[in-house]
Amino acid sequence: MLAAALRKELLLQWRSRGQMMAVFVFGATALLLFSFAIGPNAEMLRTFSSGFLWLGLLLSSTLTLAESFHGEMENRALEGLLLLPSDPRALYYGKAIANWLQLTLLGCALVPVMVILYDAGTLQLLKLLAIIMLGAAGLSAPGTLYAAMTSQVKAKQMLLPLLLFPLIVPALLASVKATSLVILGDPMDQSKAWITLLAAFDLIYWSLCGLLFGRVVED
């Protein structure tokens, strides 16, 4: 059930990979604009690089998350899917996982942009990948739920970020702090605490949103 839903999502995403490219360009441009806000001060740019990366990813996520239910809105496909004798939770987790993979990919793609623009490199690539995956998971769980709601509403573009942004503050804080420690150095080994917070947030929201999704799409 879940595997089928996931396969369908990934297939759809693969077919719209042109859009992914556009979102990447959007994210990279955002990172560029952030540097104009600070000025060509290499030291400061490096200090805030982690924040810029995650803000860029957060802004890009509003585009990808909103798109993720686009297919279901056409020809009332959502109703069709729900008529199938399958658990709506499979639909949710399929989409959430696909969104998560998409955001992780985007995050990884933005890392070289960050490294170049802000001189913010690191050799701890695996740790960075882990943080990106956990942070992307934190965005995609509530993001997929809210995307399901707002895709059916008139003011969808405004509502999704309005609902999502306050909610993911802990995930944002933790991701930025953890990434920052990886890039700038972590003498007191604090990153573990932030990664734990991020993992806890993910656990709570992946369960809670899955639980509630059925009610959101029921008729």
Partner 1 sequence: MNRTSNAPYAVLALGVALLLFGSFHGLAVAPAETYMGEVQRIMYVHVPTAWNWMLAVLWAFACAVAFLFTSNMKWDSRMEAGLEVGVLLAFLLCCQGSIWAKPTWGVWWDWDPRLTSVAVLLAASLGIMALRSFVDDPMRRAVWSAVATIIASVDLPIVYYSVKWWNSLHQEQSTPQTVDSVYHLPLRVNAFGVLFVMIGFIWLRTRVAALKLRQETAIPHTYEEAGELA
Applying CB under 8 A, the residues found at the interface with partner 1 are 142, 145-146, 149-150, 153-155, 158-159, 162-163, 165-167, 169-170, 173-174, 177, 190, 193-194, 197, 200-201, 204-205, 208-209, 212, 215-216, 218
Residue tagged 């604009």 (tokens): 33
Smallest gap from Cβ 93 to partner 1, in A, equals 17
Smallest gap from Cβ 210 to partner 1, in A, equals 12
Smallest gap from Cβ 148 to partner 1, in A, equals 10
Distance CA 164, CA 115 (A): 28
Which residue lies nearer to partner 1 by CB, 105 or 199? Answer: 199
Which residue lies nearer to partner 1 by CB, 8 or 156? Answer: 156
CB 126 within 8 A of CB 132: no
Token pair listed for 183: 């890039």
CB 175 within 8 A of CB 139: no
Smallest gap from Cβ 155 to partner 1, in A, equals 5
Distance CA 58, CA 161 (A): 9
Which residue lies nearer to partner 1 by CB, 53 or 160? Answer: 160
Query: Taking Cα atoms as reference points, which of 145, 138, 46 lies closest to residue 95?
Result: 145
CB 49 within 8 A of CB 183: yes
Which residue lies nearer to partner 1 by CB, 40 or 187? Answer: 187
Query: Taking Cα atoms as reference points, which of 186, 65, 213, 197 lies closest to residue 134?
Result: 197
Smallest gap from Cβ 20 to partner 1, in A, equals 27
Distance CA 135, CA 172 (A): 7
Which residue lies nearer to partner 1 by CB, 28 or 93? Answer: 93
